[in-house]
């Protein structure tokens, strides 16, 4: 062996560092997590303190990445938010011609107020998590049905996904969502040479998304132990 020559053992991949970005559609993943809960009577929620190490360790156990040096960059969590504007619009319905009683409207308003308090606690708790950013957009309100719904969160996630790819901010993106609206952005990102991994439940993940992903992690195939490693049961 010549002087200065190194003897490399194992795969050359152990010398490759791959940057990992995690994008979470909060509502989509929450629905999937509840659908696969082993105890249907429980309310299982994603634990943002656990998800980052779980994803990295899960990838390391995959044959394609087991010899890579995986470096988690940042996690972005996307969610819709209840607002005071929704309360005002709901209360404005009182005394107006509609199909709802004041009792129904008052009940909705109290529910929204409780959700706003929960949101405030969530945002405060999120400040304690490392490498996490919360991206929010206001929830929408339909006065003709008293329905509150999320719109635009998937678009925000898709725009960020493409932006981060074009600025070469990551090598691997793990998306906790199965929303079909992400399909075209996934294709664009893959064309830039990025790896796209989808992590979600079958019930909320479209077949097109599964096929387009480089790697699909099915929540329904996780053991109870693994579910406990990414979530907790809310009392």
Which of 173, 187, 178, 182 shows the shortest CA–CA distance to 207? 178
Q: Report pTM.
A: 0.88
* Percent residues over pLDDT 90 in the chain: 66
Q: What confidence score (pLDDT) does residue 34 get? A: 84
Q: What confidence score (pLDDT) does residue 41 get? A: 64
DSSP-derived letter for residue 50 is T
DSSP-derived letter for residue 61 is T
Distance CA 59, CA 61 (A): 5
Distance CA 197, CA 178 (A): 11
Question: Which of 6 and 57 is assigned the larger pLDDT?
Answer: 57
| Average of per-residue pLDDT across 134-158 | 93
- Pick left, alpha or beta for residue 201 (phi over 0 → left; psi -120 to 50 → alpha; otherwise beta): beta
> Domain-by-domain residue ranges, the chain?
12-79+131-234
Instruction: Find out if CATH 3.40.50.1010 is the number for domain 12-79+131-234.
Output: yes
Distance CA 233, CA 176 (A): 19
Count CB atoms within 10 A of the CB of residue 213: 21
Count CB atoms within 10 A of the CB of residue 201: 21
Q: What is the pLDDT of residues 162-215, one digit of tens each?
A: 999 999 999 999 999 999 999 999 999 999 999 999 999 888 899 999 999 999
């Amino acid at each position: 062996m010549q002087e200065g020559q190194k003897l490399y053992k194992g795969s050359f991949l152990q010398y490759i560092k791959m940057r990992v970005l995690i994008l979470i559609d909060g509502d989509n993943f929450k629905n999937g997590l509840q659908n696969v809960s082993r105890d249907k009577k429980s309310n299982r929620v994603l634990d943002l303190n656990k998800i980052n190490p779980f994803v990295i360790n899960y990838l390391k156990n995959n044959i394609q990445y087991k010899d890579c040096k995986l470096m988690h960059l940042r996690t972005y969590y996307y969610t819709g938010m209840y607002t005071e504007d929704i309360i005002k619009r709901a209360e404005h319905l009182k005394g107006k011609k509609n199909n709802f009683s004041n009792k129904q409207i008052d009940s909705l308003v109290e529910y929204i107020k409780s959700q706003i308090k929960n949101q405030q606690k969530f945002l405060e708790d999120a400040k304690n998590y490392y490498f996490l950013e919360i991206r929010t957009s206001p929830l929408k309100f339909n006065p003709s049905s008293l329905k509150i719904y999320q719109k635009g969160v998937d678009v925000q996630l898709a725009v960020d996904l493409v932006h981060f790819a074009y600025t070469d901010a990551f090598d691997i993106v793990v998306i906790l969502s199965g929303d079909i609206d992400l399909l075209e952005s996934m294709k664009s990102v893959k064309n830039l040479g990025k790896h796209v991994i989808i992590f979600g439940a079958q019930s909320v993940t479209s077949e097109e998304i599964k096929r387009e992903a480089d790697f699909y992690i099915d929540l329904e195939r996780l053991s109870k132990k693994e579910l406990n490693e990414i979530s907790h049961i809310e009392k």
